[in-house]
Each structure stands twice: as C-alpha cells, then as structure tokens.
Structure 1
Amino acid sequence: MKLNEFLLPEFLYETANTRKLLAAIPEEHFDYKSNEKAMSLSQLANHIAEIPTWVPATFLYPELDFGKIKYEAPNHNTVSELLAFYDKNIEEATKLMHEVSNETLHENWTMRNGETVYFTMPKLSVYRTFIMNHTIHHRGQLTAYLRALNCKFPGMYGPTADDAM
C-alpha cells in the first residue's frame, strides 16, 4: 500500500477541522494579541491558512532556501478571504497528497538560509512535523485566543464547552 493512502484520511480530517475553526473567527477580534510577543489573531489565522502551501513546497522540491526567496506573509482581512485562500491551498495540497509516491516521501528535504542548514530529513517527516503537527499546534493557540475572547468555537476531536451536553 502507498504511504499517501495512510496519510490522506488524516489530512482530510484535520484540514476539515481547521476550516471549521477558521470559519468561527470573529473579524472584530482580528487585532487581538494574547501578549506583546504573540501574533495577532489575524496573523495566526493567516499563518494557519498558509501552511497547506508547504505540501507542494515539500513534495515538489528538494529544499527551501530562504536566501533565495522574498517571503511576504498573507494578510487576509476578512474570514471569507481567509477561507477562500485556505480552500485554494487545500485543493492544491489534496491533489498532491493523492499523487505523491513512496519514493518521493522517502527523499530528503532541506530547509536552509543560504549556507546555514536548519535541518535535512525525509519528506515524510517534514510533512508530519512541519505541516501536520505545526498546523495542530497553531490551531491550539487559536482556540486559546478564542476562549480568552469568550468566543464559541467547534470541537476538533469531540465536543467543546460550547456544545450542549
């Protein structure tokens, strides 16, 4: 069996959960920050919505060299823009998830900034850590923001305190 057949159900489940959470963000709180070192709610949501673009960046290329790119963080100012951006990113990532071969998943991938190498590991490990785990980590931060703002949000793995028991 191909590895992507094991990975795809989790990917689809987690991306659907992430979309539900992004849809629950109240725009009037986009500027909220939990403290001065934290990202704003809008920056965090935009970052989460961007992470699926790392699937093609990982599966299609042998490395990411920050010394060779000019990065600009996304800045969508409405939930509808954010969801459209996320949906587009998920569509492309899902297509690649269906197509990726075992051989590709076993290839090494490097993150660097010019001569400074941050890490090299198999693409499968990059997918699990820097895409899936990273998303879930930031989703947890987002739920903490929403809870601090007394906003309702959907459960990811069961009901939340907002759901009727």
Structure 2
Amino acid sequence: MIKKTLLDEFLHEAESTRKLLKAIPDSALDFKPSEINWTTAQLASHISEVYNWYDVTFNQDVLDMGSYQYDKGDISKAENIVAKFEENVANAQQAIEKWDESTMMNEWKMEMDGNSIFPPMPKIQVIRSFLYNHLYHHRGELIVYLRSTGNKVPGMYGPTADEKF
C-alpha cells in the first residue's frame, strides 16, 4: 500500500518536474542569483540527478558517496538536461516498482569513506526527505530562477499567473 502511494506521488510529481525542466530556455542556463548559487543549468542538472539516487535509496541500505559517480552529461543545452531527466526518471520508476516495502524500516545511511554523512534513519524517512522533499525544494528554487530571468512558469498544482484558468 505504501509502495503504491509512493509510486503514485512519484508519477504525478515527475510530470510536474518534467514541465518545469522543459520550461527552461537555453538563454537562462548561465543565470545564477548570486556568486554562491548554482547556475540554472547546474540546478536543473541536480534535480535530474536526484532521480539517479532512487535505486540505491529504495533498494540498498547504504549510499557510499566516496565511490558514487554520476555522468551529468552536457548541460550546455536545456534539452540535454531534460533527456538526462527522462533517463533517470525511468530508472527511478523501476526502482520503486521493484522495491520490497517490507524493508521500509531498515536503517539507511549515507557514508563517505566509512564515515556517516548524516545519522542513519529508517529508509522510509530517507525516501520522503532525501528523495521526494529534496526535489520539491529544488523545484521551488528553479521557479525563482525562471521568474528572475523573465521566463514563464508552468502550473504544477493548478494554473500560475502565466496561465489562464
């Protein structure tokens, strides 16, 4: 039952993420609100990358960031970021579908070189925070980036000011 609920939310929210990523014009990719922030391209690429963490989070008990490698591809064009998103979201969906929900209370941890990056916690808590909420947070940032560059924002929970009812 929890697996179905998580999968349903995933599918709904992946569609919203897709619409948001497709709204990024190449002309906005180099924008960043300050020197300490990522560019739009880096932020959008990170959003795509989070979907790459679904399999290890749902189906393993440890993510070793010391050995983690990810090829973000060419992020100089928005269409490339969307393509990477599509690849990662398909793999993420498969990870949820193969998940044995009886493992949801397993202790899950993220390590680097044998050291915990943050305290171990039940897998279900990591799924909700590290995967789902993490994405929603970064989508909100990306909306601000789009607005700051004069671009339209697609509706995700109903129409935006850019859309008509």
Structure-1 separation of matches of 2:138 and 2:53: 15
- 1:149 and 2:145 aligned: no
**Counterpart of 1:27?**
26
**CA 1:70–1:97: 2 relative to 1, 3 Å:** closer
- 1:65 and 2:67 aligned: no
Contact 1:47 1:74 in 2 (8 A): no
Structure-1 separation of matches of 2:33 and 2:48: 19
Structure-1 separation of matches of 2:5 and 2:78: 31
**CA 1:16–1:152: 2 relative to 1, 3 Å:** same
Q: Secondary structure at the match of 2:66?
A: helix
- 1:78 and 2:77 aligned: yes
- Point out where structure 1 has 5 or more consecutive residues left out of the alignment: none
- 1:6 and 2:5 aligned: yes
Deviates more, 1:101-110 or 1:66-75: 66-75
**Counterpart of 2:161?**
161
Deviates more, 1:138-147 or 1:88-97: 88-97
Deviates more, 1:31-40 or 1:66-75: 66-75
Structure-2 separation of matches of 1:7 and 1:49: 18
**Counterpart of 1:120?**
120
Paired residues in the alignment total 164
Runs of at least 4 residues off by over 4 Å: 70-75
* TM alignment of 1:88-127, pairs within 5 A: 88-117=87-116, 118-127=118-127
Q: Secondary structure at the match of 1:48?
A: helix
Q: Secondary structure at the match of 1:31?
A: coil
Structure-2 separation of matches of 1:139 and 1:89: 16
Give the aligned residue type for 1:39: W
**CA 1:164–1:44: 2 relative to 1, 3 Å:** same
After superposition, give the CA deviation of every residue in 1:88-141 in whole Å (9 maximum; x if it has no partner): 111111112122122222221111222431221122111110110000000000
Q: Secondary structure at the match of 1:39?
A: coil
Q: What's the % identity of the aligned pairs?
A: 38
